[in-house]
Structure 1
Amino acid sequence: MVTKEEVLEEYGLDQLEESRNVELNDEKLENGSKGALIKLAGQLRDRRNELNQMASERASKRDDLNAKTREQVDEAQEHREKRDELNEQVQEHKESRNELNAEANELFDEVEQRKQDLELSSGKSIDELKEEIEDLEFKQQTEVLSTEDERELIEKIEEKREQLAEKKGKVEQSGDLEELIEEAEEVRSEASTHHQKVTELADEAQEHHNQMIEAYREADEIRDEADEMHELFVEAQEAADRHHEDFVSVQKRLREMDKEEEQERKAEREEKMEEEREEAEEIYQKFKEGETLDTEDLMKLQKTGLL
């Protein structure tokens, strides 16, 4: 079983170093200064982007592995279909072979029956009798024999000739026996041809079966790597998502801080305007009472709209 470490090493990918992750807790989020939070947001963003890139690389490798798995499965399926096709042909040739062998057996049985009926299967064959006669005649012509030995030899030759004539006569009486034998041998030969095809096709089918098994084995190995790569992708993506969520939380806190600061500035402006209005009213009251105003007092009255 392949491990994550082996997959990372094989495909040249970096380990996800936990020590490089950026941590965010409630204390930092609620009580951290704006400057510290801005810095933290930058760190979270950079680590998030780095982890997203890592996740993307792992997802790409995973998809490549899944594609290779599908290729191996498709190849295995092709071998399966070819094997099944060849096995069908094997079965067809087996059926033809068996039918022909059965037919040949019937024909040879008929040949043997005819031979028995004609007694052709008993005694020596025509070729054997011819050979024996030739040997005896050669001995008669080449050897010096006594009168008695030569007489016995001549008798043997005559006896063999009578046996040969009898055998030939029976063969002539057999009619189409030779044709029947030839037909039986032809049918047996055709059956042998089908048997040879059975052997050849069965060997080819077995080869495709072996290649199918090998393709499925490779598919399983690649699928294991793809599964490990998917786990590595999930690991990086979950870390990236957490950093993104923390980044969003910090950004939200910074916006809240900006809003709080704006509200404080607004309150300060309103307070200042109230103070200026009160001062302007005092100046205006003095003006109505006939006091002389200097330039600065006049400008304050103009600013507040009292003049």
Structure 2
Amino acid sequence: MVTQQDVLTEYDVQELKDSDNIELTDEKLENGSKGQLIKIAGQLRDRRNELNQMASERASKRDDLNAKTREKVDEAQEHREKRDELNEKVQEHKESRNELNAKANELFDEVEEMKEDLELDDGKNIEELEEEIEQLEFRQQTEVLSTEDERELIEKIEDKREELSQKKDKVEDSGELEELIEEAEEVRSEASQHHQKVTELADEAQEHHNQMIEAYREADDIRDEADAMHELFVEAQEAADRHHEDFVRVQKRLRELDKQEEQEREDEREEEREAAKEEAEEIYQKFKEGETLDTEDLMKLQKTGLL
């Protein structure tokens, strides 16, 4: 079983360390100063970008492994198709072989029937008779025999020669038999050729079968690595997404702080305007009562629109 650590080591993939991640607590988010939050936002952004890059690299390696898996599956499929094609040819040659063997058997049966009709199988065959005659003649030439024994030997040689002559005459008169034997042997030879093709093609088909099994095995191994790499990709992408979400939260909090500061400044300005208005009204009242106003008082009245 391929583990994530195996893949990290084999493909020189940077390990994701939790210690490098940026932790954002609710306490930091709600109570951190604007300066602290700006700093945290920068850290979250940088770490998010690192993790996105890490996820991208892992996704690229995963896609490469998936591509290699598909290549191996395609290779296995090619061997499967070649094996099946060869097995079809094996079957064709088997059928031809069996048909030819059946035909050869029929022809040899006809040969045996013809031999029986010609009585060629009665007694000894031509080769055995020739060998016996040769042995008897050698005995006649080399042994010292009585007149009676020699006459018997000569008669025996003559009988064997007569039997041999008869058999040869039958064979010579049976040209059809020789043709039938030749045809039967040719058919058997053709059947043997088909049997040889059966053996050769079956061996080749088995080799493609073995290569198919090996390719599928390699595809499974690479697929396991791709799956482990995908898990590593998901790990990095989820970590990147968490950092992005925290970055967005900090940005939102900073906007809230900006609005609060703006509101506070607006409140201060409103208070100043109210105070200036009250002061201007007091000055205007003094003016109506006939008091003399200095330049600064006149400017305050102008600013508030009372003069």
TM-score in same-fold range (> 0.5): yes
Q: Residue in 2 aligned with 1:14?
A: 14
Question: Which residue number corresponds to residue 71 of structure 1?
Answer: 71
Q: Supply the AA of the counterpart residue of 2:29.
A: L
**Alpha-carbon distance, 1:40 to partner:** 1.1
Q: Determine if the alignment matches structure 1 residue 170 to structure 2 residue 132.
A: no
Bigger mean CA offset, 168-177 vs 26-35 = 168-177
Letter in 2 for 1:220: D
Q: Which moved more, 1:84-93 or 1:167-176?
A: 167-176
Corresponding residue of 2:282: 282
- The code of the aligned residue for 1:11 comes to Y
- State the Cα deviation string for residues 13-35 of structure 1 (Å, max 9, x = none): 12111111111121111111111
Larger mean CA deviation between 288-297 and 263-272 belongs to 288-297
TM-aligned CA deviation for residue 44 of structure 1 = 1.2
**C-alpha deviation, 1:127, in angstroms:** 3.7
Within 2, Cα distance between the matches of 1:143 and 1:54? Answer: 106
Consecutive unaligned residues of structure 1, counting only runs of 5 or more, are none
State the aligned residue count: 306
C-alpha distance in structure 2 between counterparts of 1:203 and 1:74, whole Å: 22
| Deviation for aligned residue 1:173 | 4.0
Could you tell me which amino acid in structure 2 is paired with residue 245 of structure 1?
E
CA positional deviation for 1:68: 0.8
How many Å separate the matches in 1 of 2:245 and 2:305?
A: 51
1:201 aligns with 2:219: no
- Cα distance in 2 for residues equivalent to 1:40 and 1:122: 115
Give a deviation string over 1:51-106, Cα, whole Å, max 9, x none: 11111111111111111111111111111111111111111111110111011011
SS of 1:177's equivalent in the other structure is helix
Q: TM-score, normalised by structure 1?
A: 0.93
Structure 2, gaps ≥5 residues long: none
Please give the per-residue CA displacement for 1:210-242, whole angstroms capped at 9, x wherever unaligned: 000000000110111111111111111111111
Q: Which one is further off, 24-33 or 96-105?
A: 24-33
Q: Distance in 2 between matches of 1:304 and 1:280?
A: 7
The residue aligned with 1:2 is: 2
- Tell me which stretches of 4 or more aligned residues in structure 1 moved more than 3 Å: 127-140, 142-157, 172-175
Question: How far apart, in 2, do the equivalents of 1:177 and 1:277 lie?
Answer: 144
| Equivalence for 1:83 | 83
- Calculate percent identity across the aligned residue pairs: 82
Please identify, of 171-180 and 92-101, the stretch whose mean Cα deviation from structure 2 is larger.
171-180
Counterpart Cα distance in 2 of 1:292 and 1:156: 184
The aligned residue for residue 238 of structure 2 is: 238
